[in-house]
Chain A
Amino acid sequence: MSISLVMFLIFIAITLGITYWASKRSAGASAYFAASRQIKGWQNGIAVAGDYMSAASFLGIAGLIAFNGYDGFMYSVGWLVAYLTVLLVVAEPLRNAGKYTMADVLAYRLHPRPVRAMASLSTLTVSTFYMIAQMVGAGTLVALLLKDSGIKYWQAVIGVGILMIVYVVFGGMLATTWVQIIKAILLMAGTILLSILVLAHFGFSFGDFFNAIGQVTYHDAKGAQITKDFLTPGLMYKPPYGALDLISLGIALIFGTAGLPHILVRFYTVPDAKTARHSVVWAMVLIGTFYIMTTFLGFGAATIVGPDFIKGHGGTNMSAPLLAQALAGNIFFAFISAIAFATILAVVAGLTISASTSFAHDFWTNVIHRGVERKAGEEVRVARVAAFVVGFIAILIALKLQTANVAFLVALTFAVAASANLPVIVFSIFWKRFNTYGAVGGLAVGLVSSLALIVISPNIMGIDAPTVAASARHLIQAKAIFPLSNPAILSVPLGFLGAIIGTFLSREPSAEAKFNELLVRSNTGLGAEKAVAH
């Protein structure tokens, strides 16, 4: 048995222990969906960071920097700055006026059934697409990291899928929270250690480190040896569309993070809006520190390991683990691999609980049964079944997509959150005239336009040479119609427009009459959901 596998098993044992402990405290809806609203500010902050920083951040961005230098680092920036939108605009009103989901606030003064149905559809779309992207990545990655133990792609996908289902079905939000907290602490510890080792490699001289970044030597696609300054912009984002694509990505992050259902539900786990605010600040400290350290992870991999070696040993995603191996041998490689594994599990668990909560609370209870729970505890039971079903479907799709290139699903997730969810959240809190037509219009236009633009973008459309491997091939072999890989620059304005036009198509006196109530509730916390005492 390899050291990596042992570390994976230790992590699994600890998290299952937590799930058992949490399962005994998860009776009742508020306990199951919102961890009784008793999570402390710093705990929730760490959990938000754990919920947010996916394997795409940890392994993906390290790889982006290792291969594209500065452009990869620039990509890092938006992931932190986006939290200012969460902090300034969304977190506190949401905590004050909602109960379990984003739709609680959207439906507050509007006709609840159409609004909740659309919001639930948008939540399920965002969560399942993101989950599939994570699981396909997880399968490939775990198989690669555990190659010595003979673990295959399908075993890895099923293993990850079963674990996330167990955490959520039995442990609810409380277990999910603690899995995310442990993951975030491990991730920070691993990243800090790696950064220190990289600096030690350069004799703790920043000058030497940055000079090495100035001369990274590798072989390009044609096999010619080249030396480039990796701190110079432009290695990845090239004219004519490079800058626009970056701006579009920025829009998706800045407006999308504040519309990600699995992040938003975290703010219902704390006692009040002030704690929600503090948890965002805690999350920002962790997330910012992490992304600054991608400097050492990414440029360290570029200078110490080198793009050529990484390419020959598993590709971009292996940059961070290979750096760990080069600096401190197999035990550290195993440790960093286990962190990557923990990272994936914490994120997919967060996605599973937000999807199942939205299905049970928004769709089942409020759309189908008009807000009435027929039997006590029905909502939680439905959520548990939904978590199982969502997880099961995600496993099946991930098994099918082993050889598909699914990285675009992450871009899609943020684009949908930014174009469909955020305009409607903002208008329902701040625009009196806003109504049901506007909410349904905004959600529908945002969702459809981001989906459609992704389909005709270079993510899906493109002509590949016959030599390109199946996993990297475009799904549609034709020239892309929309030139940017992120649709947000167009789909976000469309989402806002859909909400505005929808609003002006009708008048809804009842929505306008309840505006003051929502305004007072969301801004003062008067009548907000309270923590549950044990």
Chain B
Amino acid sequence: MAEPMAEAVQRVPTGQTDWDRIANSRKFQDLMATKKMFIVPAFIFFVVYYFALPVLVGYAPNFMAMKVWGNVNIAYLFALSQFFVAWIIAGLYVRAANDFDRLSQDIIESNGTGERR
């Protein structure tokens, strides 16, 4: 098994103080702030948008049964829109995550490899 090979290339901090130092570093704080700025609003938005469906169907059934195009009603279109909204949020997240990767890589490079201390 070649498992330990990779470990030799990347030295991982061992002492608790190392981890605390990284956690309190400017770079890591930046990473967490960048992540939070996307993830928290995105999570709240999709939860609200999703639960709007059962709430509207349950408590405003007449509104949801209104026909929009032929026999197609608001209820069906709203349910269908959920799929596209989920995909759009996933797409936006992947784009935003490129920044997370860049910031993480920076932290790993300045902390992980022993030689470059």
Residues of A within 8 A of B43 (CB): 84-85, 88-89
Residues of A within 8 A of B73 (CB): 231-232
Q: Is the CB of A233 within 8 A of B57?
A: yes
Nearest A residue (CB) for B104:
A524
A sample of 28 inter-chain contacts (CB < 8 A) reads: A28-B1, A81-B46, A84-B46, A85-B43, A87-B93, A88-B93, A210-B72, A231-B72, A232-B73, A234-B57, A243-B55, A247-B54, A247-B55, A254-B47, A277-B93, A277-B94, A284-B90, A288-B83, A288-B86, A513-B16, A520-B28, A523-B32, A524-B108, A525-B104, A526-B12, A526-B112, A532-B1, A532-B2
Q: Is the CB of B83 within 8 A of A247?
A: no
| Stretch from A71-79, A152-160, A194-202, A352-360 forming part of the interface with B | A71-79
Question: B73-106: contact bitstring with A at CB < 8 Å (1 yes, 0 no)?
Answer: 1011001101100110111011001000100100
Residues from 60 to 75 in B contacting A, C-beta threshold 8 Å: 61, 64-65, 70-73, 75
**Known A84-B43, A243-B59, A527-B112; further 7 A-B contacts with Cβ < 8 A:** A73-B79, A231-B71, A242-B58, A244-B58, A274-B97, A274-B101, A291-B83
Residues from 197 to 240 in A contacting B, C-beta threshold 8 Å: 207, 210-211, 213-214, 229, 231-234, 237
Q: Is the CB of B54 within 8 A of A74?
A: yes
A270 to chain B, nearest CB (A): 15
Partner-B contacts on A (CB < 8 A): 28, 30, 70, 73-74, 76-78, 80-81, 83-85, 87-89, 207, 210-211, 213-214, 229, 231-234, 237, 242-244, 246-247, 250, 254, 274, 277-278, 280-281, 284-285, 288, 291-292, 513-514, 516-517, 519-520, 523-527, 530-533
Task: Give how many A-B residue pairs fall within 8 Å (CB-CB).
Answer: 161
Query: Which residue of the partner chain, among A231, A284, A288, A516, contacts B20 with CB atoms under 8 Å?
Result: A516
B95 to chain A, nearest CB (A): 11
A232 to chain B, nearest CB (A): 5
CA distance A53 to B104 in the complex (A): 33
Q: Is the CB of B58 within 8 A of A237?
A: yes
Residues of A within 8 A of B28 (CB): 520, 523-524
Partner-A contacts on B (CB < 8 A): 1-3, 5-7, 10, 12-13, 16, 19-20, 22-24, 28, 31-32, 35, 39, 42-43, 46-47, 50-51, 53-55, 57-59, 61, 64-65, 70-73, 75-76, 79-80, 82-83, 86-87, 89-91, 93-94, 97, 101, 104, 107-108, 111-112
Q: Is the CB of A84 within 8 A of B90?
A: yes
CA distance A292 to B83 in the complex (A): 8
Residues of A within 8 A of B97 (CB): 274, 277
A378 to chain B, nearest CB (A): 15
Q: Is the CB of B19 within 8 A of A516?
A: yes
Query: Which residue of the partner chain, among A232, A513, A519, contacts B65 with CB atoms under 8 Å?
Result: A232
Given A77-B50, A211-B71, A530-B3, verify A233-B61 contact (CB < 8 Å): yes
CA distance A120 to B90 in the complex (A): 31
CA distance A30 to B4 in the complex (A): 12
Q: Is the CB of A210 within 8 A of B83?
A: no
CA distance A88 to B10 in the complex (A): 27
